Structure 1
Amino acid sequence: MENAFFTYFILFLTFGWGQGRVVRVPESPLVRVEGQAVSVRCSVSDYEGPREQDFEWKVVRGADSLQLISTFDPSYSDRYFQDRVDSGDIAVERLGDDTVELRIQNMKASDSATYRCSTPSTDSIIKGNYDANVELKVIGDSLKVSPAAPPAVVPEGGPIELRCNATLDPAENTYLSVTWSIRKGASSEDILTFGPDTGVTTGDGSRQRYADAGLRVDLQGGGAYGLVLTEARPADQGVYVCTAREWVREKGGVWQQVLERTVEMGEVQVTPTAQSLMVTVEDNSTLSVDDTLNLTCTVNADDLSALGLEVTWLVSPDTGGSPSAPRVLVHINWDGVVTDSSGLVGVSRVGVGAFRLVVRGVDRSDSGLYSCRVQAWVRQSSREWYQAADKTSAPALVLVTVIEPEFKVALGDVVTPQVSGDPTELECRVTDVLRLQDGRLAVSWHYAEATPADMPASVHPVATVDERGNLQPGDAYRERVEKGLLVLSRVEPDTFRLRFLRTQDSDMGQYSCTASAWNRGRDGSWAKSKEVRSDPLGVHWVPKNPTLSVSAQPLKEATSAGSTFEMSCQATAENLQSPGYSVLIHMEETAGGKARKILSLGPDSVLKLEEWNELGRLDSVVLEKTGATEFRFRLYGAQVTDRGLYYCDVTAWTPGPGNSWDKAVSAASNKIPVNFADTGPAFNVSIQSDAASVLPGGTAKMECIMTLGASPNAGDVSYEVRWYHSRLQSLDRPTQLATMDRLGVVRKSPRNGSGDCSLEQTDAQTFALRIHGAQERDTGEYHCTATPWLRSPSGAWTSGHDLTSDRVFLSVTFSMWDSLKLPLLYGTGASLAVGLLSILLGFVCTQCCCRNAKHTPRTRNGLMDLEMD
């Protein structure tokens, strides 16, 4: 029994203590610098009791221990530490239920000791560890940092040297790191860090630059640390800062920073090459043809020798107006390779920042504005170049003078118009030509409107024949030139002509021509050397208004229906050149009434039916041109509806641009009447109904009957019939039910909640309408409308006037007796039949079932009878 108890006790000690409370502090020793702050964390795990645990800190020196601070007892601190606890120099901060942190703000050398973190027991069984020790070693502050001031101003591409001296007491066995950073405004960025071992750490923006050797660490020994930026950039401008840090290596090889000091080295300004770059070209120059042009481009910049320069000479023509795009004349790169567009142009470097342009044998085309464009490049440590600046000098004007040719210009008229539409021809002649040599002549024509003497006249370009012989029309005359109505020609080398095939009234005014001399330059282009303008020449005539008169004459009169009507129209015009005529035939039913357009004939003899759209009579009207100014109209098979007043409306047209026509004047002729007696039949229409009322679901029939005063031949008359329905107390228009055209085709309108309808022709004069399955909505008034059609002897059909019948009323009513008599009769008959059938069945059953039954008399033995029962 004792052996078993001993065994259980050994297992409890083995497993119980191994799984008990654990208090943890950092591994010892902790090395910190005097005057700095320290934080020591203490945590507990695997405990029982409340979730929030309390902690106590003690300072242990040998066999002595002093109470430092507690999380639950404010009076726990020893009086030796009480003042520092009260001032907050020593404090404990709870980080969680199971973690606290001891904080000492200002470390002292006397603070070197062993610090013990303890937790009071809240466990039901004591197991695990309840305290842990950490050794804290406080060393002296021996870190010294002194920077060297960098250059205040550095040109772009120049080096920046950043030097910082940092030292430590070697007896402390600590390590040093130096960090260079740049501050721009409120932001700061690390450039490079050396240490705490021999490693180098670069910032995100400096990693590639360090890999390209644009950043270089310069270690001179004795605590002197240097960082060199080999090529300064505009982005390198700012305040440079040096930061020295003291480190210790704790257990596990982890670096722990114990001290840091930061000093400003100074502000560095980087002068951009674009700011210091200056490009100038010498003053303007005037040369004669075949002289040599020399221009020098001077370049100045900070640290000019460190820049790679590309020079491009540009030239643009001096137009006197808005500047035009320059062209490249010659180019030289930083290696001295020259690229030019002509063998007569060269460029060379004549000094540091001096480049000379040479153009031999200049001509008139070399005049213009010359400028020098310089592109400055900076070479990086990676041996790559980047463009730092691009600047162009102010232009220098170069004039190449030539001896101008001499000539005179005279303008004369060859053909003078008398009226509108006549041709006009003007001649521009260049005379007394001197010193033109191999040049060419060009001419421009101008037009100015005729205005009073005190009013300025606006000049419009008509057209130009350039030095190459190309025709360039003005905007206002482009269409006439394209259609061949305006012609420019060069009849001799020094004679030019302008011809209007048909002159318009708007062409009257002042005309002038300008002759210009052109010489070919060295590059093949043409340059204008001189121009002379002629005196203006007036083109005028007395305008006359065109007049037009039209006379109509009857050739055949329509005396009866079916006869032919014919009339002619004669047009007489004045003050028109080569006119064309269009004719439009009108008809008025009454004098002064609305005119109806019959047909027309255009100036190109195109015939068109206007408002003549009667079926079967499209060929009954004819309009033809029988002479230059005479037209004839013919109407076949005249009908009653053709009676009225006929006249011609004639319009005179003059030829316009191309094949178009311009309207000149219009006139109407006198009116020719067409009036004959109407001997045709007289029509009438009536309506009748077979019943005034009908039951719901019944059929109603109505007839539309035609009557004639005089019967035409069989087949020469036809009708178009339409039936309408009007509901009682309805303000809507009558509803069309069905129609039958004169060919017998029936069309029905859609019905909504009403009975169906049908329409048929029962004889030659009668048209019957039936309402099938009448409904209450079919109650109302009905009437019909008929349009008679007559066929003339020529075979053309003519419609007469619409005829409307009287109205008949149809009522759809519900009769009580009529609706109940049949059901009552059927019910009575059925009841009688069922009663008779029941009596018969009863009699049959009685005879068949009761005939064989025998009567047995009851016995007198009462007891037996009851037993049997």
Structure 2
Amino acid sequence: MRKPAMAMKTALFVFLLYVLHCAVCRDVTLPTGPLYRVAGFPLSLPCVVSGYEGPRTQDFEWFLYRDDSGGRQMGVVSTRDKGFPYAPFQARVRNGEVRVERDSGEAVRLVIQRLRAEDQGNYECYTPSTDTVYQGNYSNMVTVKVIPDTLQISYSRALTGQPVPEGAMLTLTCSGSIRSQQLTHLSITFGKRGGGDSSGSGAGGEVSTVREIISIDKMLGIVPGHSYKKRYDDGEITLEKRNGEGGQGVYVMRMKAVRPDDSGSYFCEASQWILDPDRSWQKIAQRMLDIGNLTVQQLAESLSITSSPRGEVTLQVGSPLILTCEVLGLPSEVNSGLLVQWMKRGSVRSDAVVAGGVEVEVARMSTDGIVSWGDDLSRANGGSMEKVAEGKYSLKLFSARPVDTGVYRCVVSVYAGRSNPGSSTPATLTQKSEGVIVNLKTKDVAVSAVAQLPRGPLLKRGNTITLICNATVKTTGPAQVQVQWLRWPIPEPVIRGSVSDGAPPDPPVVETPRLIAALMHDGVVNIHSNGSEVSVDRLSAISYRLRVHQAAIEDQGMYACHAEVWGQDPHGGWYYTGVKAESNALNVYLYARAGDLLLIPLVVGVSSALFVGIIIIATVTCCFMNRLAKQRARK
């Protein structure tokens, strides 16, 4: 029973030694065949050796067994022997058309730059031995089939190089086809050379680059180039396939709005692909066709914005104000969206425009023709903005007011090639017109305001404070006064340091006045006080009264009135003339009431009486006790 067991152990040991020994045997690996490649295009055969001994850099020899050679071996190229190639390959090896490219010490490639029909056959990769023991696989073979070139490519219209306006649509059409007995796929790529970086601002950059714009790959998927992905996602670049005559595929690429950096030389590239036995896709043929040069003319070179009337305009208050904006230099063949805005900068003064200030939007017309008004929404009913002709826009204010005085500019944002841009789409170009100065002649207006505190008894807490504001207006035509009453605390000087050091006292701290009430020009009263009851009325044509009922301590302070003059335009509308006056300030102090004044002597009197009574009682008691003590002593 022991001998069979020993025999089995010996056999297992020998098998393990054999497996271990074979694990380090030399092995040469080639791609799995057959490989189909196209005549006239490159062939690249990788060969890798492993499990070898000796130097890390191995030598390789390539042989060809042609289909018509009857199994005879033909030397192609060697890494160690320049005289290795047979006659049919000697010239091709010398000029580099047939060569060995080394990927590493143990991996090389046989490269045939342009395959010929007679290159079809079985290729053997042989590695001369550097091992101490000759074991393993020293060569391997793969079958290469050379198929005819049937890849065709053409275009329908070439680019002429004539300048194309910025924003114009670019359409390129390329046709391609393959007629092969093998199952191969076709891919089409549109690309561009030159023009600098796709994100740059100019055309014709000095750095010549080749960029893929968009492709239909071998699996019929659309793949945008890296620099064009955002434009593809935004729908600005499209590619579609159509069926053409004779089985050809027609591929149409469109750029909806070309940019200056789209300038350059355009090409179309067709590639033939095949699926090798190892399930990898290989490009076996490729053909490129130049379509022509594109030059994009920048919009900034032709666009101009003008506004009319030019210079300065002076109008009477109430007259209509009409401003016109004209956009010139837009290419007629480009359908562009326009955002037109009227902006105003300046402030009103009684006699002229005061320059400066913040520029505000008066009105705008969006690319889809919708008009919206700026800060002063009330003008929506008193004006209009219209497109009167192609590229011509008008702003009308039916009845101009002094507040409309200022410097007006027309601002136009052009979305070249995009008639309805999205809200996040940046404008291609934005330009402003020259400023139009608008002055309004107002009536000569003068106003004065005087605040009065009517004579009477001293004001006490709980009384009614009455203040009179007399506002006198000198002007022609109808006018109304708008009166505001304001109050702020009486400033109290803060003494800094002692009197002896000679330091002057700090100036009084003046607080911001608080609006108490207002009588508007249309007779509406607005009360802004949150404390005491307040009323405002008009006593006469020039006299206005403020009353604070049941006045509390917080109602005392400095009071003043502000008068603003409003005029009436020929259409009956009221407008602020910009003329105002501030009255003198009145000090209002509230004294204590009579009942409050009697409280102090009452408290003092009661306290004094109690104090005197206690003293008298204490004195009487003390005397009585002394006399009683004396009487007891006598007994």
> TM over 0.5, yes or no?
yes
Residue pair 1:272, 1:388 contacting (<8 A) in 2 also: no
Is the contact made by 1:330 and 1:346 (CA closer than 8 Å) also made in structure 2? no
1:818-843 CA distances to partner (integer Å, 9 max, x unpaired)? xxxxxxxxxxxxxxxxxxxxxxxxxx
Counterpart code for 1:223 = G
Distance 1:356 1:25 in 2: 78
390, 394, 397: which one aligns with 1:359: 397
- Contact conserved, 2:32 with 2:278, CA < 8 A, in 1? no
Asked if the contact 2:53–2:130 (Cα under 8 Å) also holds between the matched residues in 1, the reply is yes
* Residues 439-482 of structure 1: CA deviation (Å, up to 9, x unaligned): 99xxxxxxxxxxxxxxxxxxxxxxxxxxxxxxxxxxxxxxxxx9
Q: Does the CA contact (< 8 Å) of 2:365 and 2:385 recur in 1? A: no
CA distance in structure 1 between the aligned counterparts of 2:168 and 2:88, rounded to whole angstroms: 61
Q: Which residue type is aligned with residue 141 of structure 2?
A: N
**1:210: how far off?**
2.7
Q: Which amino acid aligns with 1:297?
A: C
1:104 and 1:361, CA in 2 relative to 1: closer, same or farther beyond 3 A? Answer: closer
Give yes or no for the alignment of 1:160 onto 2:170. yes
What SS does the aligned partner of 2:231 have?
A: helix
1:305 to 1:52, Cα distance in 2 relative to 1, 3 A: closer
DSSP 3-state at the match of 1:253: coil
Match of 2:124 in 1: 116
Match of 1:302 in 2: 331
- For 1:149, the aligned partner's letter is A
- Of the three residues 111, 115, 125, the one matched with 1:107 is 115
Give the conservation status (yes or no) of the 8 Å contact 2:353–2:406. Answer: no
Q: CA deviation at 1:213?
A: 2.9
Answer 1 or 2: which has greater helix percent.
Answer: 2
User: Aligned runs of 1:399-418 on 2, under 5 Å?
Assistant: 399-401=439-441
Task: Say whether 1:149 aligns with 2:158.
Answer: yes
Q: d(CA) in 2 for partners of 1:329 and 1:79? A: 85
Residues 135-146 of structure 1 mapped to structure 2, 5 A cutoff? 135-146=143-154
For 1:49 and 1:349, the matched residues in 2 are separated by 87
Change (3 A) 1:297 1:70: closer
Structure 1 residues 43, 59: CA separation in 2 closer, same or farther (over 3 Å shift)? same
In structure 1, what is the equivalent of residue 370 of structure 2? Answer: 336
1:114 aligned partner, one-letter code:
N
SS in 2 for 1:64: coil
For residues 385 and 316 of structure 2, the distance between their equivalents in structure 1, rounded to whole angstroms, comes to 21
In the TM superposition, residue 128 of structure 1 has moved relative to its aligned partner by: 1.6
User: Which residue of structure 2 aligns with residue 21 of structure 1?
Assistant: 26
Mapping for residues 226-625 of structure 1, pairs under 5 Å: 226-271=252-297, 276-284=302-310, 285-300=313-328, 301-302=330-331, 306-314=336-344, 316=346, 323-325=355-357, 327-328=359-360, 330-334=362-366, 335-339=369-373, 341=376, 342-343=378-379, 344-362=382-400, 366=404, 368-377=406-415, 378=418, 385-401=425-441, 523-526=575-578
8 Å contact from structure 1 (residues 54, 72) kept in 2:
yes
Q: Label 1:188 to 1:101 Cα distance change in 2 as closer, same or farther (>3 A).
A: closer
For 1:169, the equivalent position in structure 2 comes to 179
Q: Which residue of 2 aligns with 1:34?
A: 39
Could you state the TM-score of these two structures normalised by the residue count of structure 1? 0.43
Larger radius of gyration: 1
Q: What TM-score do you get using the length of structure 2 for normalisation?
A: 0.57
Q: CA deviation at 1:366?
A: 5.0
CA distance, structure 2, for counterparts of residue 49 and residue 329 of structure 1? 84
Q: How many aligned residue pairs are there? A: 426
**Alpha-carbon shift at residue 157 of structure 1 (Å):** 4.5
SS at match of 1:387: coil
Deviation digits for residues 586-605 of structure 1 (CA, Å, limit 9, x no counterpart): xxxxxxxxxxxxxxxxxxxx
Structure 2 distance, partners of 1:371, 1:50, is: 82
User: Which of 186, 189, 196 is the aligned partner of 1:179?
Assistant: 189
- Secondary structure of 2:91's partner? helix
Give the letter aligned to residue 151 of structure 2: L
Cα shift at 1:277: 4.0
For residues 21 and 155 of structure 1, do their structure 2 counterparts lie closer, same or farther at Cα, with a shift above 3 Å needed? same
1:47 equivalent in alignment to 2:47? no
Secondary structure of 2:226's aligned partner: coil
- Judging changes above 3 Å, is the alpha-carbon distance between structure 1 residues 81 and 270 closer, same or farther for their aligned structure 2 residues? closer
Aligned 8 A contact 2:352 2:439 in 1: no
Question: What is the alpha-carbon root mean square deviation over aligned residues?
Answer: 4.2
- In the TM superposition, residue 332 of structure 1 has moved relative to its aligned partner by 2.9
The corresponding residue for 2:210 is 188
Can you list the C-alpha shifts for 1:672-715, whole angstroms capped at 9, x where unaligned? xxxxxxxxxxxxxxxxxxxxxxxxxxxxxxxxxxxxxxxxxxxx
More relative contact order, 1 or 2 (CA 8 Å, 6+ apart)? 2
Distance 1:283 1:337, change over 3 A: closer
1:160/1:228 contact within 8 Å kept: yes
Match of 1:91 in 2: 99
The Cα shift of 1:177 comes to: 1.2
CA distance in 1, matches of 2:235, 2:398: 48
Q: Which residue of 2 aligns with 1:454?
A: none
Q: Which runs of 5+ in 2 are unaligned?
A: 196-204, 447-472, 481-506, 509-563, 568-573, 581-635
The one-letter code of the counterpart of 1:352 is: E
Q: Is the Cα contact below 8 Å between 1:438 and 1:519 reproduced in 2?
A: no
Q: Which amino acid is the alignment partner of residue 394 of structure 2?
A: R
Any conservation in 2 of the 1:178–1:194 contact (CA below 8 Å)?
Answer: yes
Q: Which structure carries more strand by proportion?
A: 1
String of CA shifts for 1:556-580, please: whole Å, max 9, x gaps.
Answer: xxxxxxxxxxxxxxxxxxxxxxxxx
The code of the aligned residue for 2:275 comes to: R
Query: Helix, strand or coil: the match of 1:69?
Result: strand
CA 1:268 to 1:322, structure 2 compared with 1: closer, same or farther past 3 Å?
farther
Percent of matched pairs sharing the same residue: 29
Distance of 1:223 and 1:336 partners within structure 2: 44
Contact 1:150 1:161 in 2 (8 A): no
Matching residue within 204, 221, 240 for 2:226? 204
AA matched with 2:323: L
How far is the alpha carbon of 1:114 from its aligned partner?
Answer: 0.8
- Following superposition, the deviation at residue 321 of structure 1 comes to 9.7
